[in-house]
Amino acid sequence: MRIGFAGTGYISRIHAQAAQSLGLTLNAVVNHRPESRADFAQQFNIPHQYDDINALVSAGTVDALVVATPNVLHAPQTIAAVQRGIHVMVEKPMAMNALEALAMQQAATHSGATLMVAHCWRFDADILWLKQRMPELGPIIRTTGYGIHTHWGPSGWFTQKTLAGGGALADMGIHAIDTVRFLLDDPLPVSVYAKIGTHYGNYDVDDTAILLIEWANGTTSVVESGWWHPHMDGPEAATKLYGTHGFGQAFPTRIIMPNADRSDVVTTAAGFAFPRPTHCPQSLYDTQLAYFVDCIRQGISPIPGAAEGLVNMRIIDAAVASAQSGQAIRITHA
Ligand SMILES: NC(=O)c1ccc[n+]([C@@H]2O[C@H](COP(=O)([O-])OP(=O)(O)OC[C@H]3O[C@@H](n4cnc5c(N)ncnc54)[C@H](O)[C@@H]3O)[C@@H](O)[C@H]2O)c1
């Protein structure tokens, strides 16, 4: 399989390493900055370089493309590729908003190309261990999830609304949202109430958000996102699940079940360290890309695909509308 990369930044390099480990043919790269794409092409021994997505997709040099550019480019680059039948794995957030995400989904459905959204925590060993243990917890009544950076936040395009769409909620909160959806078997959101603000920097995007999400299965989730916060109650994608029978948690990853005498029986995920040496290890992205390639080869629709990415964007759009109006926003699904 010949794979290409849109974007030559931080996460593209991780995806390119994953592609190398999988033995794929790293065949093309697109970036508007010549030095940056030349450097990337040299590092990964990529023969074809383009300065524009249309040049890449019409050249016929790739079967699949990883879109890992600023969020404003996710929809146009993905649509340009899938319209040509090129399979795409697009980084999170899927798009700037749900309207764009819907257009991406429709373009992929129309052409038959595979479209996956890189919600990476679905491929994490801790998260998968917790998901396997979920039946023991009983119906989940409430959850709390985190997407927070302490004493740090990104700069550049991440903090510009026109390029990123939103701030910490779109960047980090989406990990918490997608992780809890995955653990709960992808329930649809019914309503979202949110408070969103900018308190830690001088930019036009959010760096603080709290969401209350009501799901169709009756569970209620709290999601917290932020950059530059003085404290966090868990690292990226940390999730707490309060069931009728027991409690489950990722990072630290464990379940806690009550004994007959009301003492706690704690079961931890064997061999999983907390904190990890690297919270987001290369292996997470290797597993994710391997799944994308498997889906293409076997003609399977990926999960997380366009449908999951779109729901996450609807939740973010609803959160923004809620914060603006002060009201809970009901979400309708076509
Ligand atoms: N899943 C994860 O763990 C994870 C981690 C980091 C970033 N991301 C996501 O990946 C995406 C990229 O983030 P990043 O941290 O790599 O950002 P980055 O700033 O390091 O890289 C962005 C790249 O896009 C390039 N670019 C800008 N305009 C372009 C154009 N017109 N054509 C082609 N390339 C262009 C930039 O030159 C740069 O190489 C974002 O959507 C981000 O949310 C996901």
> Over the stretch 133-159, which tens digit does the pLDDT of each residue have?
999 999 999 999 999 999 999 999 999
pLDDT at 55: 98
pTM: 0.97
Q: Do the Cβ atoms of 95 and 105 come closer than 8 Å? A: no
Instruction: Calculate how far, in angstroms, residue 242's C-alpha sits from the geometric centre of ligand 1.
Output: 35
Instruction: Calculate how far, in angstroms, residue 295's C-alpha sits from the geometric centre of ligand 1.
Output: 24
pLDDT at 114: 98
Backbone φ and ψ for 170, nearest 5 degrees, come out as -70, -30
- Side chain identity at residue 334, one-letter code: A
Residue nearest to atom 36 of ligand 1 (CA): 7
pLDDT at 315: 98
Which residues pair with residue 240 across a beta bridge?
144, 249
CB 163 near ligand 1, within 6 Å: no
Residues across the chain: 334
Residue nearest to atom 32 of ligand 1 (CA): 31
Q: Which two tokens stand for residue 98?
A: 């749900």
Ligand 1 nearest-atom number relative to CA 154: 15
Residue ranges in the chain whose pLDDT is less than 70: none
Instruction: Calculate how far, in angstroms, residue 11's C-alpha sits from the geometric centre of ligand 1.
Output: 6
pLDDT tens for residues 186-233? 999 999 999 999 999 999 999 999 999 999 999 999 999 999 999 999
Q: Do the Cβ atoms of 53 and 81 come closer than 8 Å? A: yes
Alpha carbons 106 and 112: distance in angstroms, whole number: 10
